[in-house]
Amino acid sequence: MKKTLALILAACMSFSLVACGGGGENSTPNPGSQSTGGSQVSGSQTTTGGDAAGKTVGIAMPTQSLERWNRDGAYLDEQFKAAGYKTIVTYSDNKNEQQVNDIQNMLSQGVDLLIIAAIDGNGLNTVMNDAGAANIPVIAYDRLIMNDNVSYYVSFDNYTVGKLQGTYVKDTLDLDNAAGPFNIEFTGGDPADNNAPFFFNGAMDTLKPYIDSGKLNVVSGQTEFSVVGTEQWKTEAALNRAQNVLASYYSDGTKLDAWLCSNDSTALGVTQAVLSDYAGGNSVIITGQDGDVANLRNIKDGVQSMTVYKAVANEAVVTLDLAKAILDGKTADESLISASGWGFDCAFDTESYETTPGNKCPSFLLVPDVVTADNMEEKLVTPGYYKVGADGYLEATNG
C-alpha cells in the first residue's frame, strides 16, 4: 500500500527531475517553487480532511542545486498535500541565513509542524529555539540539527552509507586476497552537514585496517575528514582538489586505483578530474551516493563505479506517518513501524544520534542500497524510481 504510494509519487515528482535537468550546479527550480528561497504556500488538496484539515506543515529544504533535494521537496509536498495538509515549501540556496529567514517566515505563518533538512546543522539555534518556545514540533529531515528542540530525526543509516562505499572498494580490489598495494584517495562531504562525518567514518573504518597494514596507500597522505571535506558538496570544489592531488602526487605515473567519494555531486568533480588529468590507463574505482541522473550515466559508461541509493520517496513516507502521529498526539516510537505496513525496512534508533552531548534524538533510519551498472535496472527501474530513456540511460519516470 505504502509502496504503491511511493511509486505513484515517483511518477508525480518526475516534473522536478525534468526541470532540474540532471542536477549539478545549474539546476532550475521545480515548477511552482522558488529557487532562491522565500516561501511558497501550496494549496491543500484536502483529500482526507479529518485530523489534517486546517493544519499546515513547513518543509525547509537546503537547495535546488543538488538533485536529490528536488526529489525530497517534491515527494514531501505531494505526500502531505495528498494527506490533506497545507504545505509551505522553501529551498534556501544553500545559505544558512536564508534558511533561518525561511523558517522564521513559516513560524510567523503559523505552521503546525516543521520538517527541516538543515544547510548547517549548527546554524539554526535561533529559529529552533523559537519553534521550541511556540511548541512547534520539528522533524530533522535527513540531516540532524544540533539543537534539543528537534523532536525526531528521519534519515538513512548514514554510517552504513560510508560502510557500503568502503566495502565496495574492499571487495572490488579484493583487499583480503590480492597482493597489492593499491593506491586510493578520499573526498568527503560538507563539514556543515552532520551526515558528512558519518559517511566518511563508515568508509574510513572499513578501509583503515588495510591502510594500516600497507595494502592500501593514500598517496597524498590526506586521510583526515577536515582535509578532504568539500564545502557545500560542490562539484567544482571536488574537481579542483582532485586536480591538485593528481598534479602533486600522480603526475609521475603513480597508479591510482580508487577514489572514495561520499556522494554523487563530489564524484562528478572527481570523475571529471580523473578523465582529464590522470595519466594512467587503468579504470579508477569511484564511489558515490544519491543516484543522481548524471552519475547514473557515468556508471553506465563505466567512469563511476557505484552509487549508494537512498529511496527518498520512502523517507518521505516515514516523515508523513511520523508527522501525522505527532500532530494527532499519538505515540511515535517503534510501534509506528509495526503499525505502518511500510513495504521497506526502517529501524527506530534511540542511541546513535545526539542533538547536544548526552541528548539522544529518537530516530527513524531507513536502509541504503548499492547500485552498480549491473543492478541498476533491478534497483531503480523495476521499483519505478527511474525509467530507461530512448538513449539507454536512466531518466526520471515519465521524464
Provide the minimum distance between the beta carbon of 176 and ligand GAL in the complex, in angstroms, as a whole number.
29
**Residue with smaller CB distance to ligand GAL, 250 or 309:** 309
Spatial separation of the C-alpha atoms in residues 147 and 223, rounded to whole Å: 29
Provide the minimum distance between the beta carbon of 118 and ligand GAL in the complex, in angstroms, as a whole number.
9
> Measured at CB, which residue is nearest to ligand GAL?
195
Q: Which stretch binds ligand GAL (CB under 6 A): 46-54, 85-93, 187-195, 370-378?
A: 187-195
Site track for ligand GAL across 280-319, x = CB under 6 A: ---------xx-------------------x---------
Site track for ligand GAL across 71-110, x = CB under 6 A: ----------------------------------------
Task: Verify binding: residue 143, ligand GAL, rule CB under 6 A.
Answer: yes
Considering only 13, 14, 17, 68, the residue that binds ligand GAL (CB under 6 A) is 68
Provide the minimum distance between the beta carbon of 125 and ligand GAL in the complex, in angstroms, as a whole number.
19
Provide the minimum distance between the beta carbon of 294 and ligand GAL in the complex, in angstroms, as a whole number.
14
Provide the minimum distance between the beta carbon of 290 and ligand GAL in the complex, in angstroms, as a whole number.
5
Cell triple for 252: 609521475
Provide the minimum distance between the beta carbon of 45 and ligand GAL in the complex, in angstroms, as a whole number.
28
Provide the minimum distance between the beta carbon of 150 and ligand GAL in the complex, in angstroms, as a whole number.
15
- Tell me which H or E stretch contains 113: strand 113-116
Considering only 195, 220, 235, 243, the residue that binds ligand GAL (CB under 6 A) is 195
Provide the minimum distance between the beta carbon of 198 and ligand GAL in the complex, in angstroms, as a whole number.
9
Spatial separation of the C-alpha atoms in residues 257 and 247, rounded to whole Å: 16
Smallest CA-to-CA distance from 382 within 10, 2, 1, 5 is with 10
Cell triple for 250: 600522480
Is 154:318 a contact under the CB 8 Å cutoff?
yes
Peptide bond into 181 cis (omega under 30): yes
Q: Please report the DSSP string for 125-189 in residue order.
A: HHHHHHHHHTT--EEEESS--SSTT--EEEEE-HHHHHHHHHHHHHHHHTTTTS---EEEEEE--
| CA distance readout (Å), 142 to 47, 72, 273, 300 | 27, 10, 29, 27
**Residue with smaller CB distance to ligand GAL, 181 or 191:** 191
Sheet of 285-286, strand order? 216-217, 182-187, 258-261, 285-286
Considering only 263, 271, 287, 363, the residue that binds ligand GAL (CB under 6 A) is 263
Provide the minimum distance between the beta carbon of 345 and ligand GAL in the complex, in angstroms, as a whole number.
17
Task: Verify binding: residue 66, ligand GAL, rule CB under 6 A.
Answer: yes
Provide the minimum distance between the beta carbon of 194 and ligand GAL in the complex, in angstroms, as a whole number.
8
| CA distance readout (Å), 61 to 39, 74, 321 | 11, 10, 19
**Residue with smaller CB distance to ligand GAL, 210 or 309:** 309
Smallest CA-to-CA distance from 188 within 210, 203, 170 is with 203
Q: How many residues does the chain have?
A: 399
**Residue with smaller CB distance to ligand GAL, 310 or 324:** 310
Site track for ligand GAL across 229-248, x = CB under 6 A: ----x---------------
Q: Which stretch binds ligand GAL (CB under 6 A): 123-131, 175-183, 188-196, 236-244?
A: 188-196
Spatial separation of the C-alpha atoms in residues 9 and 192, rounded to whole Å: 30
| CA distance readout (Å), 37 to 61, 79, 90, 220 | 9, 21, 6, 39
Q: Which residues bind ligand GAL (CB under 6 A)?
A: 66, 68, 142-143, 189, 193, 195, 233, 263, 289-290, 310
